[in-house]
Structure 1
Amino acid sequence: MATATSERKNFFKRLTNKGQQEEQTEMTFMDHLEALRWHLMRSVIVWLVAAIVIFVFIDWVYDNIILAPSSEKFVTYGALCSFGHWLGIGDGLCMPPVKIDFLVTQVNGTFTSAISIAMIGAVIIAFPYIFYELWLFVKPALSPKEKKYARGSIFWVSLCFFAGAAFGYYLLAPFTFNFLASFTLGKSGAILYKPTINDYIDSLTNLILGCGIAFELPILAYVMAKIGFITAGFLKKYSKYAFVIILLIAAIITPSPDITSQVIVALPLLLLYWISVLLVARVDRQKAKEEKEWS
């Protein structure tokens, strides 16, 4: 009788512990949702603050940043021309002056353009902090070894993004706008080239954000190699297919059909691909060394 009573007590104790574990699991899941909500809220607040600051100084931003790549006084034009003279190819890299007169076709066109500039500019400025909040959310789920591998990820991800954004703004955008502004259809001269300001802003932001995201290729390859999804041999084996994909990405990023602009995008992406191969090969060597030490 005493044995049966003891067994019943143990059964109810296990049942109670199971219920507590289920409740704890449910609370842990809710805690994760709550943490994610706060990470998102902080990211949105920083993004809004950056957008408000840009909007307050929207005239300066528009004159000195947005319009700069479409101006003949943009720093890239003079630098490329001087570089061409230094190489001894004369005016081979000099581009003709470009002048674009923008057209506004809506009553609220200028206001919506200012809002777009502020919102997209805020994304670029707040990118490191947004990624930092994402890292804080993911970090507790990582093992100490994975945290060690991810050390410095915020710096490298931000560096690659800003390097790509600078490449799109300082190099690709001038070539693109110069080509589009100087391209003519027919010889009658009956076409008046006046793009809308929204088209120009969309093209510029696509170049900046597209190149910024494309320059994350080495980081993505490093993470996938750590997970074990790819190896250096895999990347080398399918490099010819990667070449075709890179050409397609270059065609998507560049809004113009100019082959020069597409080559300017494709060459750095190919370089980044082979840098990714070197990083993945290093990861493979580290894994082989660890497996050898373990065995």
Structure 2
Amino acid sequence: MSDAENTDQPLPLVAHLTELRDRLLRALLAVLIVFICLFPFANDIYAFVSEPLRQLLPEGASMIATEVASPFLTPFKLTLVAAVFIAIPYILFQIWSFVAPGMYKHEKRFAIPLLVSSVALFYLGAAFAYYAVFPLIFAFFTSVGPEDITIMTDINSYLSFVLKLFFAFGIAFEIPIAAILLIWAGITTPEDLARKRPYIIVGCFIFGMLLTPPDVISQSLLAIPMWILFELGVFFGRLIQPKEDGSAT
């Protein structure tokens, strides 16, 4: 009888680990499938991502590859990142499917809209970086250089630069979700966040300074949307707070 008890105890942990492994494998398989589908278009994907800079280059200038393997590895790396980017909803679905059984019903009702909105906001942040920020900062960089300097950006350096900005803006656009989660968890209140607004604004500009190029334009283009998104988080936090109070009583 004791042997049965000893063998039964590890089963829940083993079952959870097995399920976690299966869901991680499904997520990796999804990324691999998307990558295989995108790889034939790797050069086209890089051309699309580099378009904001290439269209601003002076006549006769072009992007260059300073390393032997860069013409292959750089589009390859970008395609892999794009595959993960596209597969994010499915990856989060697998994470959600693993976590959801341990959540209460009211927590699930709250978490699902947050999960969907966080994905949408991340995509929105990346789109904002590409369509609004890149044209402005590249126009600034290409216009302030010395006249006798020919702009010929390395393709690998450009990719590292834009991926950093994609990630920075994607994370920055998650601020409303972070504020709502803090309020919902009872860690803070909308009133407390509102009182800390001056510190939040300073923090937004510090964050923008650390994650963007050292110019006022790109820093402001990240800091100001972060401030606006913070205000949205406080606004929606006020809407959910009464529900939590009511449920507590």
Alpha-carbon distance in structure 2 between the residues aligned to 1:23 and 1:217: 46
Report the Cα offset of residue 22 of structure 1. 5.5
Question: What is the identity, as a one-letter code, of the residue corresponding to 1:52?
Answer: I
Question: Match for 1:167 among 123, 128, 134?
Answer: 128
2:160 equivalent among 189, 196, 202: 202
| DSSP 3-state at the match of 2:145 | coil
Say whether 1:67 aligns with 2:30.
Answer: no
Residue matched to 2:245 = 288
Which residue, out of 27, 30, 33, partners 1:49?
33
CA distance in 1: counterparts of 2:136 and 2:8, whole angstroms: 59
- Looking at structure 1, the residues matched to 154 and 11 of structure 2 have their Cα atoms a distance apart, in angstroms, of 52
Aligned residues: 247
Report matched runs for 1:125-164 at 5 Å: 125-164=86-125
Give % identity: 27
Judge conservation of contact 1:98–1:182 (CA < 8 Å) in 2. Answer: no
Which residue, 233, 240, 243 being the options, matches 1:276?
233
User: Structure 1: where are the runs of 5+ without partners?
Assistant: 1-12, 73-96
Q: Deviations over 1:97-152 (max 9, x none)?
A: 44462221211111110111111111211111111111111111111121122233
Is residue 222–residue 280 contact of structure 1 (8 Å, CA) maintained in 2?
yes
Query: How far apart are 1:21 and its partner, in Å?
Result: 5.3
Alignment match of 2:63 (pick from 91, 102, 105): 102
Structure 2 CA distance, aligned partners of 1:242 and 1:21?
Answer: 54
Larger radius of gyration: 1
**TM-score normalised by length of structure 1:** 0.77
How far off is 1:261 after superposition?
1.9
Q: Where does residue 260 of structure 1 map in the other structure? A: 217
DSSP-derived class of the 1:57 partner: helix
Distance in 1 (CA, whole Å) between partners of 2:8 and 2:114 is: 32
158, 163, 179: which one aligns with 1:221: 179
Amino acid at match of 1:258: D
Q: 1:196 to 1:144 in 2, by over 3 A?
A: same
1:24 and 1:145 map into 2 onto residues whose CA distance is 31
Q: Which moved more, 1:263-272 or 1:281-290?
A: 281-290
Return the alpha-carbon distance in structure 2 between the equivalents of residues 228 and 48 of structure 1: 40
2:196 is the counterpart of 1:238:
yes
**Quick one: distance in 2 between partners of 1:32 and 1:129?**
20
Secondary structure of 2:91's counterpart equals helix
Partner Cα separation in structure 2 for residue 21 and residue 214 of structure 1: 49
**Matched residues in 2 for 1:27 and 1:228: separation?**
35
Unmatched tracts of structure 2, length 5 or more: none
Compared CA separation, residues 273 and 30, structure 1 to 2 (3 A): same
2:162 alignment partner AA: L
- 2:51, 2:145 → 1: CA distance? 22
Counterpart-to-counterpart distance in 2, 1:114 and 1:223? 37
Question: Measured at CA, do residues 228 and 20 of structure 1 come closer, stay the same or move farther in structure 2, by a change above 3 Å?
Answer: farther
Q: What secondary structure sits across from 2:10 in the alignment? A: helix
Q: What is the alpha-carbon distance in structure 1 between the residues aligned to residue 87 and residue 22 of structure 2?
A: 16
Please name the residue that 1:33 is paired with: 17
> Which digits, 9 at most, give the CA deviation of each residue in 1:69-115, with x for residues without a partner?
1143xxxxxxxxxxxxxxxxxxxxxxxx4446222121111111011
Deviation (angstroms), 1:289: 2.4
Cα distance in structure 1, aligned partners of 2:11 and 2:144: 62
Cα offset for 1:285?
Answer: 1.7
Letter in 2 for 1:68: E
2: CA distance, partners of 1:166 / 1:224: 26
Distance change (3 Å), C-alpha of 1:57 and 1:228: same
1:114 aligns with 2:75: yes
The superposition leaves residues 165-189 of structure 1 with CA deviations (integer Å, 9 ceiling, x where unpaired) of: 100111111122222222325x7x3
Runs of 4+ deviating beyond 6 Å: none
